[in-house]
Amino acid sequence: MADFDTIYELEDEEDEHVVSEEHLPRYCPEPVVMRGAGHITVFGLSNRFDTEFPSVLTGKVAPEEFKTSISRVNACLKKNLPVNVKWLLCGCLCCCCTVGCSLWPVICLNKRTRRSIHKLLEWENNRLYHKLGLHWKLSKRKCESSNMMEYVILIEFLPKYPIFRPD
């Protein structure tokens, strides 16, 4: 019975290395890129995104939820971009007289449109997509066909953490 309360030290083997979970690589698929599908682009922001459901997201999110989210983004673009185009045309016509200052309203309106889409996507993430292991964000990417930049919606897969493994 005397050995019952005795604590023994285990001999450490020098060639055995323990790697913590933080240093293990986590598998995350490549993000899904949703490019603009509209016919008007103002400063890289297209006037709509395609509502076609990508096959990569099958089993992750319902097609109806995906279409609803893209439709909300398209509604925001439909509301804001026609005003931006009108100010762009006005700014281009008056550009010579104002030494380029007439383009500032378009730049500010475009920034406001991007911010509203960022807020909308954050709301969608908090409402639904973070629970499903997805993260939507508006990102600037280089066009495949030219050196121009465009805004795309990136749908990233969040890494899964082993919650059943003890600390």
Mind listing the pLDDT tens digit for each residue in 11-47? 655 545 554 555 555 667 889 999 998 888 888 889 8
**3 state SS for the chain:** CCCCCCCCCCCCCCCCCCCCHHHCCCCCCCCEEECECCCCEECCEECCECCCCCHHHCCCCCHHHHHHHHHHHHHHHHHHHHHHHHHHHHHHHCHHHHCCHHHHHHHHHHHHHHHHHHHHHHHHHHHHHCCCCEEEEEEEEECCCCCCEEEEEEEEECCCCCCCCCC
The reply to whether 74 falls in a domain is yes
Confidence of residue 1 (pLDDT cuts 50, 70, 90): low
Least confident of 20-24, 37-41, 127-131, 145-149: 20-24
Alpha-carbon distance 64 to 59, whole Å? 12
Query: Which tens digit of pLDDT belongs to each residue from 43-90?
Result: 888 989 999 999 999 999 999 999 999 999 999 998 988 787 787 788
72 inside domain: yes
Domain count, the chain: 1
Residue 166 inside a domain? The answer is no
Neighbours of 29 (CB within 10 A): 9
**Is pLDDT at 132 greater than 80 in this prediction?**
yes
Tell me, yes or no, whether 10 lies in a domain: no
Measured distance CA(78)–CA(141) in Å, rounded = 22
- Provide the domain limits for residue 148: 32-47+62-157
* Polymer length of the chain: 167
Q: Is 99 left (phi over 0), alpha (psi -120 to 50) or beta?
A: left
Q: pTM to 2 decimals?
A: 0.74
> Could you give the percent of the chain with pLDDT greater than 70?
80
On whether residue 56 sits in a domain, the answer given is no
